[in-house]
Amino acid sequence: MSKGFRTFCPEKNTWNTTLYFPTPDSFLNDWEQKIDATQQSYSALEPVERAKFLLAIQEELLLDEKQIQMKYCAESGLARSRFEMEFARVLHTIQLFASHIEAFQWQKRTEISEQHKSLLKKRIAIGPVLVMGSSNFPLAYSTIGGDSVAALAAGCCVVLKAHEMHLGTSTLVYQCILRAIEKCALPSTVFSHIVDNTYKWAQTFAQHPKIQAIGFTGSIRGGRALMDMAAGRRAPIPVFAEMGSVNPVVVDASIHPEKISEIAEKLAFSITNDAGQFCTKPGLILVHSSHQQLFEKTLLTHLATQTAVPMLHPDIFQKFEARKRAVLKVKGVSAKHAAHQQNGILGLWCLALTDLSTLIEHPSLREEVFGPFALLSPYDTNEDLQDLFTCLDGQLTLSLFTNETQTLHPSLLQFAQQKIGRVILNGVPTGVSVAEAMHHGGAYPASSDVRFTAVGPDSMLRFTKEICWQIHH
Amino acid sequence: MSKGFRTFCPEKNTWNTTLYFPTPDSFLNDWEQKIDATQQSYSALEPVERAKFLLAIQEELLLDEKQIQMKYCAESGLARSRFEMEFARVLHTIQLFASHIEAFQWQKRTEISEQHKSLLKKRIAIGPVLVMGSSNFPLAYSTIGGDSVAALAAGCCVVLKAHEMHLGTSTLVYQCILRAIEKCALPSTVFSHIVDNTYKWAQTFAQHPKIQAIGFTGSIRGGRALMDMAAGRRAPIPVFAEMGSVNPVVVDASIHPEKISEIAEKLAFSITNDAGQFCTKPGLILVHSSHQQLFEKTLLTHLATQTAVPMLHPDIFQKFEARKRAVLKVKGVSAKHAAHQQNGILGLWCLALTDLSTLIEHPSLREEVFGPFALLSPYDTNEDLQDLFTCLDGQLTLSLFTNETQTLHPSLLQFAQQKIGRVILNGVPTGVSVAEAMHHGGAYPASSDVRFTAVGPDSMLRFTKEICWQIHH
């Protein structure tokens, strides 16, 4: 019999008591027997029926909100207010997709009269999707997060690999989904919940011929491993992996000095909020040299007022410390950080200073440090930034604080068009709106497929395909 | 100095006289210097300006139609009527994309008033695209074929690797494009024409960091090589490869025996037209056993009346012969084919007979034989077909001749939804309409990315991505 494993309580710095056991091997055979018929019957539902199912999940989540909240906080160390934000986000996502699929244009028609034929193109589910629960969003990018909702909305069965560090939260959410499945009289294989603290089940499904797409939110290493696995299959399948980003921020010369403190305050919050554990956390700040001194001073002041939060689990904390150390030991990088602990919590914010030539010289400085960390560098001209932009990888976001919003400098525009998923004018990158005009993605390694968004109703397109029905009369 | 090489004249069974030389190594440096600025300026054009450029190409093609036709026929062995069909197809494709990009919704907007921000999502070019000229469509899937037109319409610069067997045709078409580039005062790097009779240049560009997507039409081996190369890059890029298919045809029990001869006649043409060198050529015909005898007899009669056409070049012919031999030597397969030659042309049609269990047992029978060849098998029940469908790969098309068009048997529907790009009711698979409701693709290996079509205005989406502009007020 396999050994059980536990989740971690960052707030108390102890392991939680509940034991979890990996999904037994016998599951696979059962799933294989049922998945074809389940996929066919689920995808055959009218959009309005799928919308009803999504809303039934929402209803069940609301019934269990309190229970979920307690597990969520005990497994993540995140505050109740963060739970509330994330829970509301899930409800909003479900609501948005439910309306979206009812209004969506699922068909296109062309009549070709001289050949007496008509073409009817229908958008349908791509097939069963493997979704990997994320570490940093125990709700909104996990069991019933963006990927699962998008896949279910599209008509795809989901195999959800629960993140091993919040199995309690995941199990509670799964029970809500199961009750909704029952209520809607659907087969339970519509949604499978996989528990595992190794790579075994993820690999099994990523390579399984019946899985037709993969959704992932996490590290570049994890995402790339899935991409390589999917590309190496006899029949490769699409992977949508939302991975790392340093989310550059530019504070340009046109900003009035009186505004600097306000901008620094917003950025201090954006860097440290929930221990900086957001894919859109600003990790690289480029400040025009005329503002450098004032900006650095006010940023440090505001950083010092932020509340310390423990990181999600010991592994993330250790990786954060290791990456931080690697960056700080580069010649030309100096650290400015609060030396004290707050309420015994480690992993406090760190701001490091450097310059453009050091950034260009050392690739490791241009890679994400996941956690409450940012690098700050002054710059003189937009032309100087050009060389840095050339060597930066694809990014989820680029933020620009400027008074000149009408005309972007060509080097910024080119960087945006080549590598960025979302450009923010006079705002911070954290806080991704779930909306139709959102694009959450970007050139590799921000995401694995630059053509799709991970957030908003358009993210459903990742898990759909089209069939043309050609009818001769 | 590198040695020149020639194209082949299948009609005369000789090599053409013109010598072609590979693009010199110095080209790369020049291209690298210019591509960023060219891509940025070309993609910045308004859709109406890109439409004008496409229509200018069309105008230039019309001026050189006669010249192109002569080269086309001399390099392909295809008849003038085929040239006319393909030339008209190119003109139609250009026209369709030119109107499409003017009408296309390039933007989506969301206002989030409580946060004082607005989101504006714009669809833009993915970046420079490598297009591989195809062997079997010297015009419509080559230099200014579907992939090039889609990429140019999207705002992407194109690097076109000319197919080495129709370099004369490609060069003439390229000259038309160059004149249109001049007329529209665009930089010449918008469209680059690469001549090579090795894999060198294709590999260089497929792996080049500035290339952002690849379009390909051809063999599974060639397409998969490009897919693997793209997936192995430091930053993987999307590949759209349209590859092999056996395009199954089912003639079911509900068909009236009086209709059999008409169906057989259509299929005989579809199998042998232009030596069966279409990706949608029907290669596997499944006939209900009640019709088997009559169908076989009438199909053979109609096959015997088809005009023999030489294959495109010696390499294709040799591959056809080798694949045919491999299929015919399988125990349980017997050949019915015309033994005589017609006007000295080899590579005449071949019909082979087999049964379901042999098809299921031998994977090589389920792979494409590119050329005028089809396998015929009787079947008894739709349930019997199920096992074959389970082991068949993804297909561009499935054709169904039936009187019962209202309700498809579940095994057929499941096959369609899992693996097929286009289902044809009572028609043959050849003759792909360039229209909005067309879907030309299918599960791997029919295409590399089941989510996109290679034909019709929606094929532009393969070469686009989105950026969200988030503006705080």
Q: Encode A304-314: b = buried (16+ Cβ within 10 Å), e = exposed.
A: eebebbbbbbe
Residues of chain A contacting B155 with CB distance shorter than 8 Å: none
Same structural domain, B464 and B384: no
Q: Please give the pLDDT value at position B2.
A: 61
Q: Which residues of B touch A394 (CB under 8 A)?
A: 235
Query: Any CB–CB contact under 8 A between B391 and chain A?
Result: no
Q: Does B120 touch chain A (CB under 8 A)?
A: yes
C-beta atoms of A468 and B414 within 8 A: no
Asked if A453 contacts A420 with a C-beta cutoff of 8 angstroms, the reply is: no
Chain A residue whose CA is closest to B231: A231
Compare A269 and B346 and report the one with higher pLDDT.
A269
Pick among B389, B465, B471 to test the A interface (most A CBs inside 10 A): B465
- pLDDT at res. B348: 76
Position A309 scores a pLDDT of 85
Contacts of A339 (CB under 8 A, 6+ apart): none
Examine the domain organization and report whether B211 and B258 are in the same domain: no
Alpha helix ranges (H) inside B64-207: 65-76, 80-103, 146-154, 167-183, 200-206
Closest residue in B to A450 (Cα–Cα): B465
Distance between CA atoms of residues B221 and B280, nearest Å:
18
Q: Which of B182, B148, B154 is nearest to B45 (CA)?
A: B154
- Are B174 and B150 found together in one domain? yes
DSSP class of residue B340?
S
pLDDT surpasses 60 at A269 = yes
Contact list in A for residue B237 (CB cut-off 8 A) is 444
Inspect the interface and report whether the beta carbons of A117 and B433 lie closer than 8 Å: yes
Are residue B83 and residue B17 in the same domain, yes or no?
yes
CB A211 within 8 A of CB A229: no
Nearest to A472 among B127, B426, B449 (CB): B426
Is A437's CB within 8 Å of B126's CB? Answer: no
Query: What gap in Å lies between CA A300 and CA A306, rounded to an integer?
Result: 10
Tell whether A235 and A302 lie within a shared domain.
no
CA B72 to chain centre: 18
d(CA A332, CA A226): 35
Give yes or no for A228 touching B (CB within 8 A).
yes
Compare all CA atoms of chain A with the CA of B117 and give the residue at the minimum distance.
A427
Q: Does A48 touch chain B (CB under 8 A)?
A: no
If we measure between CA atoms, which residue out of A433, A412, A85 comes closest to residue B108?
A: A433
B19 shares contact with chain A (CB less than 8 Å): no
Residues 6+ apart with CB under 8 A from A139: A68, A72, A83, A86, A87, A89, A90, A145, A169, A173
Q: How many CA atoms lie within 13 A of B214 on its CB side?
A: 34
Q: Is A128 on the interface with B (CB under 8 A)?
A: no
| Joined tokens for residue A371 | 């956690």
Query: With an 8 Å Cβ cutoff, is B124 touching chain A?
Result: yes
Q: Is-contact B93 B136, C-beta < 8 A?
A: no
Are B435 and A110 within 8 A, CB to CB? Answer: yes
Q: Which two tokens stand for residue B178?
A: 């160059």
Structure tokens at A199: 């790579």
Residues B222 and B88 in one domain: yes
Q: In what order do the strands lie in the sheet with B239-242?
A: B191-194, B158-161, B129-132, B213-217, B239-242
B384 by Cβ neighbours in 10 Å (0-12 / 13-18 / 19+) ranks as: middle
Q: Which long-range contacts (CB under 8 A, 24 or more apart) does A38-42 make?
A: A38/A157, A38/A187, A38/A189, A38/A190, A39/A125, A39/A127, A39/A128, A39/A156, A39/A157, A40/B410, A40/B413, A40/B414, A40/B417, A41/A186, A41/A187, A42/A125, A42/A155, A42/A156, A42/A157, A42/A186, A42/A187, A42/A190
Number of domains in chain B: 2
Q: B436 in contact with A at a CB cutoff of 8 Å?
A: yes
Measure A467 CA to nearest chain B CA, in Å.
5
Domain that holds residue A18: 8-243+450-472
Residue B439, domain member (yes or no) = no
| Whether residue A290 sits in one domain with residue A219 | no
Does residue A144 fall inside a structural domain?
yes
Task: Tell me the nearest-neighbour CA distance from A119 into chain B, angstroms.
Answer: 6
CA dihedral B300, B302, B308, B312 (to 10 degrees): -80
Interface test with A, best of B420, B439, B440, B462 (most A CBs within 10 A): B439
Burial class (CB in 10 A: 0-12, 13-18, 19+), B300: middle
Using CA coordinates, name the residue in chain A closest to B109: A437
Instruction: Look up residue B467 and give its two tokens.
Output: 């950026």
Q: What's the CA gap between B330 and B332, in Å, rounded?
A: 6
- Token readout for B66 is 């006669």
Q: Does A433 touch chain B (CB under 8 A)?
A: yes
Residue A423 with chain B: CB contacts under 8 Å: 467-470
DSSP B342: B
Say if residue A413 is exposed, middle or buried (CB neighbours under 10 Å; 0-12, 13-18, 19+).
middle
- Give me the pLDDT at residue A346, please: 58
Encode pLDDT of B79-111 as tens digits: 999 999 999 999 999 999 999 999 999 999 999
CB half-sphere exposure, B119, CA atoms < 13 A: 22
Are residues B328 and B209 part of one domain?
no
pLDDT on residue B405: 85
Contacting residues of B for A471, CB less than 8 Å apart: 405, 425-426
Q: What is the pLDDT of residue A473?
A: 87
CATH number, domain containing residue A372: 3.40.309.10
- Asked whether residue B418 falls in the same domain as residue B467, the answer is no
Chain A touched by B420 (CB under 8 Å): yes
Q: What is the pLDDT of residue B347?
A: 52
**Position B198 in a domain:** yes
Contacts of A237 in chain B (CB under 8 A): 444
CATH number reported for the structural domain that contains residue B194 in this entry: 3.40.605.10
Please provide residue A105's backbone torsions phi and psi, each rounded to the nearest 5 degrees.
-85, 95
The answer to whether B129 and B160 have CB atoms below 8 angstroms apart is no
CA B431 to the chain's CA centroid: 12
Looking at B402-463, which runs of residues are DSSP E strands? Answer: 420-425
Lookup: tokens for A439:
């694009």
Q: Is residue A432 part of a domain?
A: no
DSSP conformational letter for B185: T
Distance of alpha carbon B153 from alpha carbon B456, whole angstroms: 12
Residues of A in contact with B40 (CB under 8 A): 410, 413-414, 417
- Report the pLDDT value the prediction gives residue A345, as an integer from 0 to 100: 64
**Span B285-338, pLDDT tens digits:** 999 999 999 999 999 999 988 888 889 988 999 999 999 999 999 999 999 876
ipTM score assigned to the predicted complex: 0.96
3-state secondary structure chain A: CCCCECCEECCCCEECCCCECCCCCHHHHHHHHHHHHHHHHHHHCCHHHHHHHHHHHHHHHHHCHHHHHHHHHHHHCCCHHHHHHHHHHHHHHHHHHHHHHHHCCCEEEEEEHHHCEEEEEEEEECCCEEEECCCCCCCCCCCCCHHHHHHHHHCCCEEEECCCCCHHHHHHHHHHHHHHHHHCCCCHHHEEEECCCCCHHHHHHHCCCCCCEEEEECCHHHHHHHHHHHHHCCCCCCEEEECCCCCEEEECCCCCHHHHHHHHHHHHHHHHHHHHCCCCCCCEEEEECCCHHHHHHHHHHHHHCCCCCCCCCHHHHHHHHHHHHHHHCCCCCEEECCCCCECCECCCCEEEECCHHHHHHCHHHHCCCCCCEEEEEEECCHHHHHHHHHHCCCEEEEEEECCCCCCCCHHHHHHHHHHEEEEEECCCCCCCCCCCCCCCCCCCCCECCCCCCCCCHHHHHHHEEEEEEEEEC
The 10 Å Cβ neighbour count of residue B406 is 6
Q: Does A223 score more than 80 pLDDT?
A: yes
Residue A12 lies in a domain: yes
CA distance, residue B444 to nearest chain A CA (Å): 6
Beta bridge partner(s), residue B187: none
CA distance A139 to chain B (A): 23
Two tokens at A265?
């305050």
Residues of chain B with pLDDT under 70: 1-2, 338-347
Cβ–Cβ below 8 Å for B467 and A420:
yes
Q: How many angstroms separate the CA atoms of B454 and B460, rounded?
A: 9
Query: Is B235 at the interface with chain A, CB within 8 A?
Result: yes
User: Given CB atoms, is B439 within the 8 Å cutoff of chain A?
Assistant: yes
pTM score above 0.90:
yes
**Cβ distance of B466 and A427 shorter than 8 Å:** no
HSE-CB for B208 with a 13 A CA cutoff: 22
8 Å CB contact of A449 and B238:
yes
> What's the confidence (pLDDT) of residue A113?
81
Q: Out of B227, B410, B439, whose CB is closest to A468?
A: B439
Residues whose CB is less than 8 angstroms from the CB of residue B113 and which lie 6 or more positions away in sequence, other chains included: none
pLDDT at residue B278 in the model: 95
Assigned domain for B283 exists: yes
pLDDT at B344: 61
Chain A CB within 8 Å of residue B16 CB: no
Nearest to A423 among B212, B227, B469 (CB): B469
How many other C-beta atoms lie within 10 A of the C-beta of residue A30? 12
Tell me if B108 and A436 make a contact (CB, 8 A cut-off). yes
In 3D space, the residue among B211, B241, B236, B248 whose CA is nearest the CA of residue B225 turns out to be B241
Does any domain span residue B430? no
Q: How long is chain A?
A: 473
pLDDT tens figures, B163-177: 999 999 999 999 999
Binary contact (B435, A119; C-beta < 8 A)? yes
> Are B185 and B270 part of one and the same domain?
no
**Of A144, A109, A135, A140, nearest to A123 (Cα)?**
A109
B451/A427 Cβ within 8 A:
no
Q: What is the mean pLDDT of chain A?
A: 95
Q: Pick from B433, B440, B472: which is nearest to A112 by CB?
A: B433
A215 touches chain B (CB under 8 A): no
Chain A CB within 8 Å of residue B471 CB: yes
Q: Which amino acid is at A209?
A: P
Amino acid at A220: I
Tell me what percent of the residues of chain A surpass a pLDDT of 70.
97
Task: Tell me whether residues B467 and A416 touch, CB distance under 8 A.
Answer: yes
Same domain, B116 and B198: yes
| Catalytic residue status for A46 | no
Give pLDDT, residue A307: 82
Nearest CB partner across the interface for B468, out of A235, A422, A461: A422
* Residues of B tagged active-site: 242, 279
Residue A168: partners with Cβ closer than 8 Å, 6 or more residues away: A7, A16, A18, A71, A74, A75
Does one domain contain both B73 and B199? Answer: yes
Residue B309: its pLDDT value, please? 85
Residue B434 lies in a domain: no
Q: Does A472 touch chain B (CB under 8 A)?
A: yes
